[in-house]
């Protein structure tokens, strides 16, 4: 999966989003490049989830543009995947959930079987392959959602608060999985409001507050010396 | 355990592909049903619109197989009140009518909807009522006088109220008695708006007086405390006529087979078949076809 | 009281003796109602799914209309279908009146709103849950509908059963368009109605008992399958 980028980099040009006249995202610009783990951090209501959905194309910006700059940009949706805060699993077996996603990409039967097995292995779900997905524990469900996304071999993986409803052990497992996926060459763009998680996962932080991108910095720099008062307050927990 | 393994097996094959196949199979099933009814429609048969009172008596089950045996023509009976049966004929939804309202039948023919009318048979109406007979009409031989007594004490009377031949006949008696039943409707005079059997069910349940054709009354099994009150008044005479729907108005009417039926039911064989139909040893219908002109 | 005991005795005798005419009536009932429900499923489920998924002008009106039509009186349906199929009606040339096909059409019209409205509800609930995920995975509308129908199969089964119950129980529509012709269009409900009119209350109730047993049988089979499946797949 390494090698020349297919759709990256992703460029945002003055992206805004409003619903019924209320502006929820203000003028966000920026560039996302290959490989790194970018974490969108901010309090509830900062517009983190909306940002992910705008990037992923689930919603369209009211103003500004979301541009994929790579050679295969015309088929950008095929090279992305998203994991939602609450895993959405189909009412069928664990393996069939992955197989379903692959079949939507028109991947042949043999190749599907191989990738399903590989993805289950990676997520540590191989022995649950035939179990109905909806009787898995929440942690297992989220790992399955990740495995399903990973099996699509996306160049960019979006994760929307993937551990928000998980206990520490399950959170740890999911974070490990994110790391594995990233090391296989997939760009990670993820939201969280959890400072600890941001520290553990991120290469860079994009700090959002009330729909605005307040500051963007490498993880270490952001936590050591935030430039904006909002970020400083958030890190110190004053906004909670 | 066994059964759950069986269902598991069953569901194992319930994949989307199989589901699509299932949908196709459903479609095929529906199609087959359509085709099978289409072919059955090609058999040789007549549609005879008749009255509920005739059908409920069982007369048709007795005579129609004889006709079919002789001619190979099946007769499908649709039972409605006389008014509705005439309506079916007017719309061309039947080939033949066998009803009992002479003046309406003659009007129907005059309007050009029916042809080849023949008298077939008659039965008679009876007045039935509760055993206790609160109005004391049992055994009277004047039906109009009896109805006048019922109205005078406002005893419960159930009317068909369905524009059938029986209903129309009953209304003529009230007319003769100069009683305005429309004004009384809902108080002592109740309109069932239903067939003869349903009306007898209501009368038995109340109990109340009602007028019935003798055939339905004799074959009716849920009498409760109802008993025969009045019979034999010549005005209770109830003649049936048969006719063909005018093929010039409705070209699809099976005129040839229909005329064969009219021919048969007024022939000696048909008349004998009617005469031989009995319930509890009692004759219900009296053939009276005049010889063909 | 004795009438009720008599009815059970009659029902028992009819079942044990396996009366040929009764068999014919039961088979026709099943054929008519199953065909009607099969057709109504093929029309109603995609219709319900389409209303659940697509936004279009008049969608709200259509939803209210479908929900309202669930309570359509069978007699009214029978009358409308009759007016269409009558020799004097627009489809009179097809010569379908007083045939099992006419009864299938009438019951189909009766049942479509039930199946469509219930599947719309079920599929819309599922779509709310699945929408973003399916769009993220790149499923087009066709594939999305198939997925929702498959994943909503238990809800849809309930909808179909509701439709089947309605079809087997109604008498008004088949009486008008079928005519209750012996050996041709006589089904369980019209036979029951006829025997009631004849005052054969025990026989009528006996037939009613058999109809209830049939309906219960089909529903329990479906229920057992459904609950076993849900244990397996949640």
Sketch the domain layout of chain B as residue ranges: 45-123+239-287, 124-236
Distance between C148 CA and the closest CA of chain A, angstroms: 9
Neighbours of B15 (CB within 10 A): 13
By percentage, how much of chain A surpasses pLDDT 90?
78
**CA A231 from centre of chain:** 22
Confidence of residue C7 (pLDDT cuts 50, 70, 90): confident
Select from C99, C149, C198 the Cβ nearest to the Cβ of B221.
C198
Residue B23 has a pLDDT of 62
Domain A10-235 has CATH 3.30.460.80: no
Between residues B15 and A165, the one the model is more confident about: A165
If you average pLDDT over every residue of chain B, what do you get? 84
Beta strand B96-99 pairing with B237-245? antiparallel
| Cβ–Cβ < 8 Å for A209, A24 | no
Distance between C221 CA and the closest CA of chain A, angstroms: 22
Task: Check which CATH number belongs to the domain holding C163 and give it.
Answer: 1.10.3720.10
Q: Mean of the pLDDT values across residues C43-61?
A: 91
Phi then psi dihedrals of residue B139, to 5 deg = 85, -5
Q: Which residue has the tokens 């895993």?
A: A87
CB-CB under 8 Å, C229 with B14: yes
Give a yes or no: residue C203 inside a domain: no
Residue B289 has a pLDDT of 82
Q: Mean of the pLDDT values across residues C109-123?
A: 95
Residue B284 has a pLDDT of 84
Phi then psi dihedrals of residue A212, to 5 deg = -115, 145
Confidence of residue A173 (pLDDT cuts 50, 70, 90): very high
Residue A29 has a pLDDT of 94
Q: How far is CA A96 from CA A83, A105, A114, B210, C234, in A?
A: 17, 14, 13, 71, 14
Q: How far is CA B181 from CA B142, B184, B185, B189, C35, in A?
A: 19, 5, 6, 7, 47
Q: Is the pLDDT of residue C13 over 50?
A: yes
Q: Mean of the pLDDT values across residues A30-46?
A: 91
Please give the Cα distance from B157 to B208 (Å, whole number): 5
Please give the Cα distance from C179 to C177 (Å, whole number): 6
Q: Is the pLDDT of residue A1 over 50?
A: no
Please give the Cα distance from A79 to A56 (Å, whole number): 10
- What are the extents of the domains in chain A? 10-235
Residue B202 has a pLDDT of 87
Neighbours of B275 (CB within 10 A): 14
Q: Is the pLDDT of residue C4 over 90?
A: no
Q: Is the pLDDT of residue B56 over 90?
A: no
Give a yes or no: residue C177 inside a domain: yes
* Angle, CA C102 vertex, CA C100 and CA C104 arms, to 5°: 70
Give a yes or no: residue C34 inside a domain: yes
CB contact A135 to C (< 8 Å): yes
Domain B45-123+239-287 has CATH 3.40.50.1970: no
Q: Is the pLDDT of residue A239 over 60?
A: no
| Cβ–Cβ < 8 Å for B129, B157 | no
If you average pLDDT over every residue of chain A, what do you get? 91
Q: Is the pLDDT of residue A26 over 80?
A: yes
Residue B20 has a pLDDT of 59
Mark B187-206 as b/e (b = at least 16 C-beta within 10 Å): ebbbbbebbbbbbbbbbbeb
Confidence of residue B7 (pLDDT cuts 50, 70, 90): very low
Give a yes or no: residue C83 inside a domain: yes
Give a yes or no: residue C101 inside a domain: yes
In the complex, which subunits touch B with 3 or more CB pairs below 8 angstroms?
C
Q: At what angle do helices C20-53 and C100-137 cross, to 10 degrees?
A: 30
| Cβ–Cβ < 8 Å for A110, C146 | no
Q: What are the beta bridge partners of residue B49?
A: B78, B97
Give a yes or no: residue C212 inside a domain: no
Task: Name residues whose C-beta falls within 8 Å of residue B112's C-beta, 6 or more positions apart in sequence.
Answer: B246, B248, B249
Q: B260: closest CA among B40, B67, B93?
A: B67
Confidence of residue B9 (pLDDT cuts 50, 70, 90): very low
Q: How far is CA B125 from CA B121, B166, B211, B220, B273, in A?
A: 14, 8, 7, 14, 21
Q: In angstroms, what is the C-alpha Rg of chain C? A: 20
Q: Is the pLDDT of residue A132 over 50?
A: yes
Confidence of residue B35 (pLDDT cuts 50, 70, 90): low
Residue B293 has a pLDDT of 47
- What's the 3-state SS for chain B? CHHHHHHHHHHHCCCHHHHHHHHHHHHHHHHHHHHHHHHHCCCCEEEEEEEHHHHHHCHHHHHHHHHHHHHCCEEEEEEECHHHHHHHHHCCCCCEEEECCHHHHHHHHHCCCEEEEEEEEEEEEEEEEECCCCCCCCCCCCHHHHHHHHHHCCCCEEECCCCCHHHHHHHHHHHHCCCCHHHHECCCEEECCCCHHHHHHHHHHCCCEEEEEHHHHHHCCCCCCEEEEECCCHHHEEEEEEEEECCCCCCCCCHHHHHHHHHHHCCHHHHHHHHCCEECCEECCEECCCCCC
Q: Mean of the pLDDT values across residues B219-229?
A: 88
Report ipTM for this prediction: 0.89
Please give the Cα distance from B230 to B232 (Å, whole number): 7
Helices and strands (H and E) in chain A: how many: 8, 9
Residue A121 has a pLDDT of 93
Residue A94 has a pLDDT of 95
Residue A15 has a pLDDT of 95
Q: Is the pLDDT of residue C41 over 70?
A: yes
Output the six-digit token pair for A41. Answer: 């951090």
Q: Mean of the pLDDT values across residues B200-213?
A: 90
Domains B45-123+239-287 and B124-236 share a fold: yes
Please give the Cα distance from B103 to B207 (Å, whole number): 32
**Residue to test with chain C: of B10, B11, B245, most C Cβ within 10 A:** B11
Residue A90 has a pLDDT of 93
Continuous segment of H or E residues that includes residue A139:
helix A138-151
3-state secondary structure of C200: coil
Q: CATH classification of B124-236, choosing from 3.40.50.720, 3.30.70.3270, 3.20.10.10, 3.40.190.10?
A: 3.40.190.10
**CA A103 from centre of chain:** 22
Q: Mean of the pLDDT values across residues C153-158?
A: 89
Q: Mean of the pLDDT values across residues A105-128?
A: 93
CB contact B9 to C (< 8 Å): no
Neighbours of C2 (CB within 10 A): 7
Per-residue pLDDT tens over the stretch B116-128 = 899 999 889 999 9
CB-CB under 8 Å, A132 with C233: yes
Distance between B207 CA and the closest CA of chain C, angstroms: 15
Residue B13 has a pLDDT of 44
Confidence of residue B100 (pLDDT cuts 50, 70, 90): confident
Give a yes or no: residue C5 inside a domain: no
**Residue to test with chain C: of A7, A74, A90, A146, most C Cβ within 10 A:** A90
Q: Mean of the pLDDT values across residues C38-66?
A: 91
Confidence of residue A183 (pLDDT cuts 50, 70, 90): very high
Q: Mean of the pLDDT values across residues C116-122?
A: 94
Identify the DSSP state of A132. Answer: B
CB-CB under 8 Å, A81 with C133: no
Q: Which domain holds residue C99?
A: 21-185
CB contact C157 to A (< 8 Å): no
Please give the Cα distance from B173 to B181 (Å, whole number): 11
Residue B165 has a pLDDT of 83
Output the six-digit token pair for B143. Answer: 């039906």
Identify the DSSP state of A116. Answer: H
Distance between C41 CA and the closest CA of chain A, angstroms: 21
In the complex, which subunits touch A with 3 or more CB pairs below 8 angstroms?
C
Between residues A167 and C196, the one the model is more confident about: A167
Residue B2 has a pLDDT of 41
Q: Is the pLDDT of residue A73 over 90?
A: no
Residue B40 has a pLDDT of 52
Give a yes or no: residue C144 inside a domain: yes
Please give the Cα distance from B50 to B129 (Å, whole number): 26
Domains in chain C, number: 1
Q: Is the pLDDT of residue B6 over 90?
A: no
Residue B4 has a pLDDT of 44
Q: Mean of the pLDDT values across residues B72-99?
A: 90
| Cβ–Cβ < 8 Å for B63, B97 | no
Residue A240 has a pLDDT of 44
Please give the Cα distance from C47 to A181 (Å, whole number): 41
Residue C32 has a pLDDT of 94
């Amino acid at each position: 999966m390494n090698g020349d980028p297919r759709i990256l980099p992703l460029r945002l040009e003055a992206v805004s989003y409003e619903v019924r006249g209320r502006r929820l995202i203000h003028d966000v610009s920026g560039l996302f490049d290959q490989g790194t783990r970018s974490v969108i951090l901010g309090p509830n209501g900062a517009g983190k989830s909306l940002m992910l959905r705008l990037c992923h194309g689930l919603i369209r910006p009211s103003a500004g543009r979301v541009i994929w700059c790579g050679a295969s940009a015309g088929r950008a949706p095929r090279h992305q995947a998203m994991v939602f805060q609450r895993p959405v699993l189909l009412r069928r077996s664990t393996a069939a959930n992955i197989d379903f996603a692959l079949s939507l990409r028109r991947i042949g039967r043999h190749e599907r079987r191989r990738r399903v097995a590989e993805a289950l292995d990676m997520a540590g779900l191989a022995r649950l392959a035939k179990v109905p997905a909806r009787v898995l524990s929440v942690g297992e469900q989220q790992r399955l959602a990740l495995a399903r996304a990973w099996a699509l071999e996306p160049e960019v993986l979006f994760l929307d608060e993937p551990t928000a409803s998980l206990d520490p052990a399950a959170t740890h497992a999911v974070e490990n999985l994110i790391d594995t996926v990233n090391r296989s060459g997939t760009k990670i763009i993820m939201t969280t409001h959890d400072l600890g998680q941001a520290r553990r996962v991120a290469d860079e932080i994009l700090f959002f507050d009330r729909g605005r991108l307040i500051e963007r910095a490498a993880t270490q720099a952001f936590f050591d010396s935030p430039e904006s008062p909002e970020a400083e307050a958030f890190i110190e927990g004053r906004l909670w | 355990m066994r059964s759950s393994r069986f269902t598991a097996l069953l569901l194992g094959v319930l994949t989307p592909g199989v589901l699509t196949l299932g949908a196709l199979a459903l479609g095929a099933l529906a199609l087959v049903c359509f085709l099978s009814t289409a072919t059955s429609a090609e058999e040789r048969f007549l549609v005879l619109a008749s009255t509920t009172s005739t059908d409920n008596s069982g007369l048709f089950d007795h005579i129609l197989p004889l006709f079919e045996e002789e001619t190979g023509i099946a007769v499908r009976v649709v039972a409605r009140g006389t008014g509705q049966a005439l309506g079916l004929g007017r719309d061309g939804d039947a080939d033949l009518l066998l009803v009992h309202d002479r003046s309406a039948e003659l009007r129907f023919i005059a309007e050009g909807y029916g042809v080849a009318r023949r008298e077939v048979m008659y039965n008679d109406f009876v007045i039935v009522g509760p055993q206790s007979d609160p109005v004391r009409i049992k055994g009277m031989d004047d039906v109009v006088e009896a109805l006048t007594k019922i109205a005078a004490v406002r005893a419960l009377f159930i009317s068909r109220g369905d524009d059938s031949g029986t209903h129309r006949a009953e209304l003529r008696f009230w007319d003769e008695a100069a009683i305005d039943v429309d004004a009384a409707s809902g108080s002592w005079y109740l309109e069932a708006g239903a067939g003869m059997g349903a009306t007898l069910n209501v009368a038995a349940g109340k109990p109340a007086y009602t007028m019935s054709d003798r055939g339905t009354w004799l074959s009716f099994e849920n009498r409760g405390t109802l008993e025969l009150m009045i019979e034999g008044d010549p005005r209770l005479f109830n003649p049936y006529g048969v006719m063909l729907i005018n093929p010039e108005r409705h070209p699809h009417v099976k005129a040839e087979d229909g005329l064969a039926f009219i021919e048969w039911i007024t022939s000696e064989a048909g008349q004998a078949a009617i005469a031989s139909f009995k319930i509890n040893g009692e004759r219900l219908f009296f053939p009276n076809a005049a010889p063909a002109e | 009281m004795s009438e009720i005991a008599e009815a059970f005795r009659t029902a028992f005798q009819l079942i044990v003796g396996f009366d040929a005419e009764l068999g014919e009536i039961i088979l026709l009932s099943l054929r008519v109602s199953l065909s009607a429900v099969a057709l109504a499923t093929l029309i109603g489920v995609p219709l319900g799914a389409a209303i659940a998924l697509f936004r279009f002008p008049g969608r709200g009106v259509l939803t209210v209309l479908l929900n309202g039509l669930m309570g359509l009186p069978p007699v009214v349906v029978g009358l409308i279908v009759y007016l269409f199929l009558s020799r004097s009606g627009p489809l009179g040339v097809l010569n379908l009146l007083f045939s099992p096909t006419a009864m299938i059409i009438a019951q189909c019209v009766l049942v479509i709103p039930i199946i469509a409205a219930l599947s719309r509800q079920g599929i819309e609930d599922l779509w709310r849950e699945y929408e973003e995920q399916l769009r993220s995975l790149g499923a087009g509308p066709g594939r999305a509908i198939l997925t929702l129908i498959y994943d909503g199969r238990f809800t849809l089964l309930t909808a179909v059963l509701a439709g089947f119950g309605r079809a087997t129980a109604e008498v008004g529509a088949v009486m008008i368009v079928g005519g209750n012709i012996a050996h041709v269009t006589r089904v369980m409900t019209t036979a029951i109605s006829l025997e009631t009119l004849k005052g054969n209350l025990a026989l009528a109730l006996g037939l009613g008992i058999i109809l209830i047993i049939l309906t219960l049988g089909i529903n329990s089979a479906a229920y057992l399958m459904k609950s076993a499946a849900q244990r397996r797949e949640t």
